[in-house]
Amino acid sequence: MEKLSSPKKTIEIIQKYNFDFQKKFGQNFLIDSHVLQKIIDAAHITKDDFVLEIGPGIGTMTQYLSEHAREVMAVEIDHNLIPILKETLAGYDNVEVLNEDILKVDIGKIAEEKNQGRPIKVVANLPYYITTPIIMGLFEKNVPMDSLTVMVQKEVAQRMQAVPGTKDYGALSLAVQFYAEPYIVANVPPNCFMPRPKVGSAVIRLTRYKDMPIKVKNEKLMFSIIRASFNQRRKTLQNGINNSSALHFSKEQVVEALGEMELSPTIRGEALSLEQFARLSDLLEG
Ligand code: SAM
C-alpha cells in the first residue's frame, strides 16, 4: 500500500470509506511526512523493539512504525476505522490492530506476552481529551517501558517539561518528572493535521528512568501534598496543605517541616523542586 502521509491520500481513503471524523475521539490525523519522520527519529526505534501505538487513526504513523520496529500493536477505539486499517496496513505483517479503549487495556500483560516483560516503546499522536490519564496510567501501573514519544497539546508539553518558578510548573510537571526525563522534540502547527485542531501541538519524548532519582517514603502522600500546593496557586504552600481535605497536618507541623528544610513559612508550591517535595513529604510522614 502506498504511504498515507499526504493530504491527497488521506482524503482519498476518508472518501472511499465515507468516514466521519469523531470529535469525541479527538480525531486529528497527521498529514505531514516530515513530522512523522521526526517522531520516528525521536523515538529511537530499532528492529528489536515492540512498539505500542495508541490511536492509529487510518494507519499513517503505523506504516512508519511497522517499517522500523520488530512488532507493532495499535490500539484503536473507533470501530469505523478497523476496515480502513485492514486496507492501509495490508502487507505490513508485523502489525496487530486491537479494537479497544486504551484506558481499559492491560498493557503490562501485553508487554509480558509480546515482549517477554522487556521494556516496550510507546509512540502516539494522542487523543488530546485523555492525554494525562493515558500517560500517568502507563507510569503509575509500572508498565515496563523505555520511552513514550507522543504528540500532545503544546501547552501540555510545556507543562510536562517546566522547571520550578516558571508559570507552567505544576502538579503535571512533577508527576511526569518523577518517572521520566522530558524532552520537547518539536512544535507542530495545526496545518499538519486533518481536520486542523484549534490548538498548537508538540512532540515530547518522555524517557522512563530505570532507577528513579527521587526516593520518597510515601509516594501517595507526596502527590497529595503536591496537588494541595498547586490547588490554590496564589496561596502559600502551608495554606494549600492545611486547606486540603485529603491531608490532616496542623499549621505547626507544616511550618516546622519547612523550617527544618530552611524554607520560609510563606513559600509557595511553585518554588519547590521535586526533591524538596519528597523531603517535605518524608518529614511530614514522620
Ligand atoms: N495516529 C493517527 C494519526 O496520527 O493520524 C490518529 C491520531 S488522532 C489524534 C487520535 C486517535 O486515537 C484517533 O484515531 C482516535 O479514534 C483514537 N482514540 C481516541 N480515544 C481512544 C481510546 N480511548 N483508546 C484508543 N484509541 C483512541
- Going by C-alpha positions, the residue among 230, 225, 232, 219 that lies closest to residue 249 is 225
Q: Which residues, 6+ apart, have CB-to-CB distance to 136 below 8 Å?
A: 175
pTM for the whole thing? 0.95
18-75 pLDDT, tens digit per residue, is: 999 999 999 999 999 999 999 999 999 999 999 999 999 999 999 999 999 999 999 9
Residue 75 Cα to ligand 1 midpoint, Å, equals 8
Complex confidence, ipTM = 0.99
Looking up cell 507510569 gives 139
Is 20 close to ligand 1, i.e. is its CB under 6 Å away?
no
Q: Which residues, 6+ apart, have CB-to-CB distance to 195 below 8 Å?
A: 21, 28
Long-range Cβ pairs for the range 17-24 (8 Å, 24+): 17/80, 17/83, 17/84, 19/58, 19/80, 19/81, 19/84, 20/80, 21/195, 22/78, 22/80, 24/129
Is 102 close to ligand 1, i.e. is its CB under 6 Å away?
yes
